[in-house]
Chains A and B, each alone.
Chain A
Amino acid sequence: MKKIRILIFVLLIGLCVGCSTVQPWERESLSSPIMIFDKNPIEKGIKIHHIEFREGSAGATGSQSGGCGCG
């Protein structure tokens, strides 16, 4: 079952890669601030840090936190 999941995951990635249609000369519009996931990663890291120490979950937020004993 685990091998099937990994295979599906790899196939999905392959499928996504095949979907790439953006050419290098079209990429200018992707540099717009509205098309960036985390425009200010330092600020986001600080916010995530506070929330992670008030909840039981961590990770997969696009940001790393840690370093204090408040957890």
Chain B
Amino acid sequence: MKLITDYKLRIVLKNFNLRLLLRFTLLIILITNFQVIVSKSQELPPDAIQVDFNSYFDNFGVSIIYPEVSFSKSLSEGTSINGRVLVDVITTASMKSHFDSVYSFVNTKQGLDAFTSASKRTHGGSDNIPDELRGEFGFGIVQLLGDATASLTNLYSIEHDYSSETIAGSLSIPFAKKNTTIQLGIVESWDKNYPQTRTWTADKSVLSSTLTFTQIFSTDFIAQLELFYSNLSGFLSDPYQVVTVVNYDSSYLQKFEPVYPDYRNRAAAGFRTLIRLADISSLQLGYRYYTDDWDIKSHTLSGLYQHQLFEDKLLLGAGIRTYFQSKAKFFKAEYDKPEEFMSVDPKLNGIFSNEFEFNLSLNGSLIPIIENEKLELNGRFNLYIRKTDSPDWHSRYDKLYAFLMSFGFRFILN
């Protein structure tokens, strides 16, 4: 008992120290933002407004349409602000578990498994009627500090059963004639979960840090190494999923809420390269290794070919991403007795996935009526196919087919 208490105390102290460090770093960035003499050696993002219409559809019945507007505006030679508003219109975003049939028998049709968290439905499954909204609002500041660039961003997301507040800070320092850049990023978020079907409220906090090292080797070859570490604590489960425990010997089933550990440490290392193939084309190649203390390990391979036409006024891209993942140590497709930790979440299952991407970017000067080079039109289509080791707990499909589409424009204001 004492050992467990000591262990928990160590975790609390560790989290406390990390939070202190984060807040201290953010404070330093804030203070220096207003004290350091501004230099013209680095460039701020251009004043611009960007509007995107994004959509997501999959064969599990989830549809999301989400327009987004973002802007950046310079306040002085060394300071720029940016903002972002996004609205998600969702069907079947989260499943609402139902426990009417907690002690129902195997093979009976009594009771419900799940229905969407915002709907008034009385049966499981999904349809195409939007039943959930999420709003996300962001505001940030970018400040040049001599050769370095610092940024601070605050994000707030709200939906009917979940809210999240995020503070992100980053510091980017170039050296060696700006051929080498080191970037440190720290993100902390505080989430609140208040499911409609429960009377309780649960908190989650996430502290992530990223160290990115970018090296320009030549005008034809750039490489980037990114190290990521994240600590999650609090309520990490999904209250809308249902774990079914089936005992075939005594012919009964019981339904439980998933039970997750209340902490998770995640680490990843990614390496990617950008190679110029000719004056008008390039190839991006990447690899990422990920591991965490829930025993998930994954390998991600990616490639993106880009080709420009009409003197870089039209950019076309085609890419592929392949992903392998081992399952979490407590995940089971089916339980035969209640266990300390239980999950049926497909993203904790063994996964093999592929994603195919096609994108284009067209400068407005090529569009006959508009003929404005400050305008840029963007479009992207992604096909995502995920195969899990066992069928999904609710849809009973083991293959997910998702279509992601996005189109929009960016207009340079200065």
Interface residues of A (CB under 8 A from B): 13, 16-17, 19-24, 26-27, 29-30, 32-35, 37, 39-40, 42-43, 46-47, 50-51, 53-62, 64, 66-71
Q: Is the CB of B323 within 8 A of A55?
A: yes
Which segment, of B25-33, B96-104, B398-406, faces chain A? B398-406
Chain B: minimal CB distance from A9 (Å): 9
The 7 closest A-B pairs by CB, nearest first: A69-B162, A59-B228, A60-B270, A20-B179, A60-B268, A67-B157, A34-B282
Q: Is the CB of A55 within 8 A of B168?
A: no
Q: Of A34, A43, A56, A60, which one neighbours B276 at CB under 8 angstroms? A: A34
Q: Which residues of A contact B290 (CB under 8 A)?
A: 57-60
Q: How would residues 154 to 166 of chain B score, 1 for a CB under 8 Å from any chain A CB and 0 otherwise?
A: 0101010110101
- How many contacting A-B pairs (Cβ < 8 A)? 197
Known: A32-B308, A47-B382. A54 touches B166 (CB 8 A): no
Known: A33-B361, A47-B382, A68-B159. A58 touches B164 (CB 8 A): no
Q: Which residues of A contact B274 (CB under 8 A)?
A: 35, 37
Q: Which residues of A contact B168 (CB under 8 A)?
A: 64
Q: Is the CB of A69 within 8 A of B94?
A: yes
Q: Which residues of A contact B298 (CB under 8 A)?
A: 55-57
Chain A: minimal CB distance from B366 (Å): 14
Interface range, B side: 35 or more
Q: Is the CB of B296 within 8 A of A57?
A: yes
14 A-B pairs within 8 Å (CB atoms) are namely A16-B223, A21-B217, A23-B177, A42-B68, A43-B408, A54-B346, A56-B351, A57-B300, A57-B325, A60-B288, A61-B270, A64-B210, A69-B94, A69-B193
Which segment, of B48-56, B73-81, B141-149, faces chain A? B48-56
Q: Which residues of B contact A59 (CB under 8 A)?
A: 208, 210, 226, 228-230, 266-268, 270, 290
Q: Which residues of A contact B307 (CB under 8 A)?
A: 34
CA A26 – CA B276 in complex, angstroms? 15
Q: Of A46, A58, A67, which one neighbours B230 at CB under 8 angstroms? A: A58
CA A24 – CA B270 in complex, angstroms? 28
Q: Is the CB of B404 within 8 A of A33?
A: no
Known: A56-B347, A57-B296, A60-B288. A69 touches B164 (CB 8 A): yes
> Closest chain A residue to B93 by CB distance?
A70
Known: A16-B180, A35-B274, A59-B228. A43 touches B406 (CB 8 A): yes
> Closest chain B residue to A67 by CB distance?
B157
Q: Is the CB of A19 within 8 A of B215?
A: yes
B246 in the interface, Cβ–Cβ < 8 Å? Answer: no
Known: A34-B281, A67-B164. A55 touches B159 (CB 8 A): no
Q: Which residues of B contact A55 (CB under 8 A)?
A: 298, 323, 325, 347, 351, 353, 386
